[in-house]
Chains A and B, each alone.
Chain A
Amino acid sequence: MKTFRAILNSLFDSLRDLLPIILVIGFFQVLVLQQPIPNFGDIAIGILFVVIGLTLFVQGLNMGLFPIGESMAYAFASKGSLAWLLLFAFALGFGTTVAEPALIAVADEAAKVAATGEVIEDSQEARESYAFGLRLTVAISVGFAIVLGVFRIIKGWPIQYLIIGGYIGVVIMTVFAPEEIIGIAYDSGGVTTSTITVPLVTALGVGLASSIKGRNPMTDGFGLIAFASLTPMIFVMGYGMVI
């Protein structure tokens, strides 16, 4: 009975999280566009699926993703091998990004832009190799970002200097990068971090900061995602300049 109540509660929480979208879409459809809601049954089933999905995700987060991220952070900290930790950080950043569906979509779009702007030849082959190069660039930049972020946690450097340095890098690159790439580069910062990467990387950072003496999990543990959204901008503009 108790578990049943708990499940019911978390289903209700998920429904509440979803309610704003339902209201917004309902409002615009009925009052602004003045059209009926089509396929009411489909929508009800879809909403049910989203609610079930969100509930399972939050359960899994607390059971699987958070504990494994933290226990690996503790294990690396007690093993004391910086090289392996940094290699793990790179692998995690690179591996989770290179196959990210949102990134694949953006890279394909970017290849179309490049072909239209006559940066590359307008052929299937040229577009594919351009898109693949872009994906690799972004994945390497995210790997580099997590390495840098982990290194920062270990050293205890304040985050703002690194981020502001990154901003200056973005601004300088914007001056030199070809115009077509700028929009894509700015967007690529946002698409790299997926729903599974974020909790893992956050747990890793917080776990590291709490297992190293003298680090505060709040000021030092967060910030890995910030690096992962900043470096792709710089690297992608660099890619646009080289190609």
Chain B
Amino acid sequence: MHPIQLIHDLFFTILSTVWDVLPIAAIIFGFQLFVLRKPIPNLKKIITGFIFVLLGLAFFLEGLEAALFPLGKLMAEQLTDPSFILQGADDGELNWWNYKWVYLFAFAIGFSTTIAEPSLLAVAIKANQVSAGSIGIWGLRIAVALGVAIGIALGVFRIVTGTPLYWYIVTGYIFVVIQTWHAPKLIIALAYDSGGVTTSTVTVPLVAALGLGLATTVPGRSPLLDGFGLIAFASLFPIMSVMAYAQISEWQARRRNKTTT
């Protein structure tokens, strides 16, 4: 890409980020000025922080647009292309196992994009502070990323097999409810939250391309009806994996206590 083109694009990304943040800034400063009527402590630092967040998001999005999204989307298209899928089919007939590389790609892209997701990082930092270090930043991020990875791989399997979305979601809900009774109380709210933080800037565009590519090329699927639903999987499974993470940590701690006493 030409450097001038890059600077031009970056400038427009900054403008559109500013546009997205404007309503939030208006609400915050409006309430601060007219309702709370108190000066904001460290105003200068906070404004600098806002500018950092704006610039950071703009660089982040522009970099993803320039480098990873085009390649990732192209890859999703190529992996779901019938000519690639048919390489593994000996008799020209497709079954669900011919899509094995797609499942692996779904798992890997779900995991890796979640690790890079800025909003998950934010929640992990906060949870680490609030829990006085007992919830590790990396422990939480890896637990959530594994949940997203399993969720998206299963979501892809659903598109390939054409089974109804609500079967999976309702079963998942039942599982979450059962797990809630057994998980440590401290983790529950955080686990429910981690469903919502996983899918934003990095994950959604790549996962959407994957879902759309599959729904277009798998025989008998409609991109309009079956292309949706992957995000739902990516928001449900981290709830289970985060509770499992807490259950495993608790169990390990209990075992360690037993051996020492």
A residues apposed to B, CB below 8 Å:
17-18, 20-21, 23-25, 27-29, 32-33, 37-39, 42-68, 71-72, 75-76, 79, 84, 88, 91-92, 95-96, 98-102, 109, 112-113, 116-117, 159-160, 163-164, 167, 170-171, 174, 179-180, 182-184, 186-187, 189-200, 202-203, 206, 216-226, 228-229
Contacts and interface: CB of A to CB of B under 8 A. Distances in A.
B48 A198 contact: no
Interface of B: 1, 6, 10, 16, 19-21, 23-24, 26-28, 31-32, 35-36, 38, 40-42, 45-68, 71-72, 75, 78-79, 84, 101, 105, 108-109, 111-113, 115-116, 118-119, 121-123, 125-127, 130-131, 165-166, 169-170, 173, 176-177, 180, 185-186, 188-190, 192-193, 195-202, 204, 224-232, 234-235
Given A17-B121, A21-B113, A65 B49 contact: yes
A50 B60 contact: yes
A187 B197 CA distance: 13
A53 B60 contact: yes
B11 to A, nearest CB: 13
Nearest to A179: B225
A219 B126 contact: no
Contacts of B125: 58, 61-62
Contacts of B111: 20, 24
A228 B56 contact: no
A24 B49 contact: no
Contact of B49 (A63, A72, A216, A225): A63
B109 A43 contact: no
Contacts, number: 342
B130 A63 contact: no
Nearest to B168: A186
B56 A186 contact: no
22 contacts: A21-B72, A46-B65, A47-B67, A48-B63, A53-B58, A53-B60, A53-B61, A58-B121, A60-B48, A60-B54, A61-B122, A68-B40, A75-B38, A88-B31, A92-B24, A159-B189, A194-B20, A197-B24, A198-B123, A218-B131, A219-B188, A228-B196
Contact of B62 (A49, A57, A223): A49
Contact of A225 (B20, B186, B193, B225): B193
Given A67-B49, A88-B35, A113-B224, A229 B195 contact: yes
B228 A187 contact: yes
* Pairs A-B, 9 closest by C-beta atoms: A64-B49, A46-B67, A49-B63, A53-B60, A60-B52, A63-B49, A183-B228, A56-B56, A53-B59
B92 to A, nearest CB: 21
Could you tell me the dominant secondary structure of chain B's interface residues?
Answer: helix
A24 B108 contact: yes
Contacts of B113: 21
Given A23-B112, A186-B232, A64 B53 contact: yes
Nearest to A63: B49
B68 A50 contact: yes
B188 A57 contact: no
Nearest to B105: A28
A25 B75 contact: yes
Given A21-B113, A193-B197, A229-B235, A223 B192 contact: yes
Given A24-B108, A60-B49, A64-B48, A53 B231 contact: no
A29 B54 CA distance: 32
A135 B112 CA distance: 30
B66 A49 contact: yes
A50 B63 contact: yes
Nearest to B59: A53
Contacts of A68: 28, 40, 46, 49
A110 to B, nearest CB: 8
A170 B232 CA distance: 12
Contact of B115 (A20, A47, A116): A20
